[in-house]
Chains A and B, each alone.
Chain A
Amino acid sequence: MEDYKFLFKVVLIGNAGVGKTCLVRRFTQGMFPPGQGATIGVDFLIKTVEVDGDKVKLQIWDTAGQERFRSITQSYYRSAHALVLVYDISSQPTFDCLPDWLREIEQYASPKVLRAVVGNKIDRDDREIPTHIGEEFARRNDMYFIETSAKEADNVEKLFTEIAHRLTQEARASRYSTSGPAAPDLSQSPSKSDNPCCKMLQ
């Protein structure tokens, strides 16, 4: 089993069709899945990145955008370290829904969670949301902002690397401060000897 220093849970949310799955696939597999259908439920992926020499695992939750009715949502946000709110720069309605998504985040997620807003599909020439409008929204809500193209692999790596970087810094800070909150409580990487599932198959 590979070793890692930190493990962070990153959840992607946003309307259906904004390209959440494409962003995740581009990042985890380096490909742009053609003809991607709607995501079922939630897709869980793992990707290890390096931050200043430390291995950091990102546990990515790619949620189904069309699942607007959910009787329970806590599970999605529970112990999330970062929430990535995605919209499509060529679709005004996907941007207009951002406040609804924010309300959901505020209701269920920890206030300490790192929040990012991502305008995807900058490869398209029918843009409806100018960059500064997205930026303004992010600034007002104290969120990290970036525009991406999963198709052209623009800024996708940067988005996730930035998240990993920020979370790692936060984790390190809280690790060395005695009074700080026990932020990412996942800093202990499991080792072979004490992992019960490794033991059982010896």
Chain B
Amino acid sequence: MWTTLRRSISVSAVQNARVSETRRPFAILEDSDVTFLQRLLGNRNVVTDTDDLQKHNNDWLNVCQGKSRLALYPSSTNEVSEILRYCNSRKLAVVPQGGNTGLVGGSVPVFDEIVLSTHKLNRIHEVAELTGVAVVDSGVVLEKLDQHIAPMGFAVPLDLPSKGSCQIGGAISTNAGGVRLIKYGSLHGSVLGLEAVLADGTVLHGLNKMRKDNTGVDLKQLFIGSEGILGVITQAAWLLAPRAAFNSVAIVGCDSFENVLKVYKNARGDLSEFLSALEMFDVDSLRCTEENLVMKNPLGEYFPFYVLIEVQGNNHGFVEEALHSFVEKVLDSGMISDGVAASDGKGIHDLWQCRERISESIRLDGYVFKYDMSVPLEKYLDLAKLLKPRIDGLAKRICVFGHMGDSNVHLNITAEEYSDELLALIEPFVYEQTVEMGGSISAEHGIGLLKKKYLPLQRDVQWLKTMRSLKHSLDSNGILNPYKVI
């Protein structure tokens, strides 16, 4: 069976408007490789069935369709090390995969790379009740950890819509952001230590559990956000956050972007230590949820812009009072003319749905071109404004929403279906404009496969050269997550 496979793979190339890759000269999987790996992991941890491989070969956005013939489920660091040692010696390419919830095609095979799934690396090793430092395997699902630590009074310092399926290793590898980054900061701060396996099987033991640790080059930082091209994260020591017992959420409507900025400034100032999310969405996003998901405008009127503000704390009175005072202030001073606030579970949930279900509603339009940029806050709407005249008539909708508190904008262009013509009008234009205004072409989704060709817009030759030399020094055969990032 491998002979036919070999022929089909040897001519493989992916060529479309978004991705242009030719298979690199990695070895091709042999029966003997499968036998070796089966002996190492046990048959049940080696997947070769085409149907079972489907979920590993496909991206949930369906932008990438790999042709991997093998997925592995190691359950210990040692097994990961053995797998990589073997694959490196055979020059077999490997794609590390967590929950496969990425948005840039970083976690799926492009050709026949072996999928190294962290699915069974799923133990929570310890949680220090006093300090809240947790040591966990990389395959632990974010929500599972959160549920585990809730009774101890802790919360994971990361909140993502995909929390029910995304894994901690994947979140760290992509330096995931989410709605609470404004409160908890980035993973570069909360991840205290990592254990990672290099391409040749070397295990880097760096599970530091101290908050402060200035002992030479902080190697763990290299693995945070490098999307699996430098090594496979197997364990992490993570500083958890104290769990807030009470939340209050408000959505306010603004009739101008100038007022949105005033609300932002005031929220940061007035709510400072309570503020746990500051999100915005435009009326096109809201209308999309109304049309596609039968959701309701949380306010009695339509406004061009909506801002969602969440506060958290352990004194219900303070939390609710702080938010109400804030809403009163922005109302009285004319920054808004309508707002709604809730402090009960259902109300909070309903208000969050207005923001959280936008992505889902947008997908129901047909096809979505998704962009995740950091931009100077005062230029938050500029990309959409610049794009509008270019794609008028071709696009169905342009929706702007995102983590405004972190200057992170999610720009979504929907159409009935994908078209090269529309893509060509959006890219590279939207990336060039982002760089021009001093932003970042990837705020929190990463580079993966989809944004790879635009990385040189953001990073100069010297920077890219240094990235490549780092990659080469840690993975000289280039077997780890090839075709991604650089």
Contacts and interface: CB of A to CB of B under 8 A. Distances in A.
B331 A44 contact: yes
Contacts of B258: 201
A162 B283 CA distance: 35
Contacts of A1: 333-334
A89 B393 CA distance: 52
Nearest to A36: B300
Interface stretch (A67-75, A97-105, A140-148): A67-75
Contact of B342 (A7, A42, A59, A186): A42
A75 to B, nearest CB: 5
Interface stretch (A25-33, A110-118, A152-160, A166-174): A25-33
Interface in B330-361: 331-335, 337-344, 346-347, 350-351
Contacts of A25: 300
A72 B320 contact: yes
Nearest to B251: A40
Interface stretch (B85-93, B127-135, B321-329, B473-481): B321-329
B340 A41 contact: yes
Contacts of B334: 1-2
Contacts of B265: 197, 200-201
A43 B338 contact: yes
Interface residues of B, number: 34
B331 A46 contact: yes
B338 A197 contact: no
Given A190-B333, A197-B266, A197-B333, A43 B321 contact: no
B219 to A, nearest CB: 42
Given A25-B300, A57-B332, A41 B347 contact: yes
B262 interface: yes
A9 B328 contact: yes
Interface string A15-51: 0000001001100110001000101111111100000
B243 interface: no
Contact of A43 (B300, B328, B335, B344): B300
Contacts of B421: none
B332 A29 contact: no
A178 interface: no
A78 interface: yes
A177 interface: no
Interface of B: 258, 261-262, 265-266, 296, 298-301, 316-317, 320-321, 324, 327-328, 331-335, 337-344, 346-347, 350-351
30 contacts: A1-B334, A7-B332, A21-B300, A29-B300, A40-B346, A40-B351, A41-B342, A41-B351, A42-B324, A43-B299, A43-B340, A44-B327, A46-B331, A46-B332, A46-B337, A59-B328, A59-B332, A64-B342, A70-B344, A74-B321, A75-B320, A75-B321, A75-B324, A76-B324, A78-B321, A190-B332, A197-B262, A197-B266, A201-B261, A201-B262
Given A45-B337, A59-B328, A64-B342, 11 more contacts: A21-B300, A29-B300, A33-B300, A41-B343, A41-B347, A44-B338, A59-B332, A67-B347, A69-B344, A78-B321, A201-B258
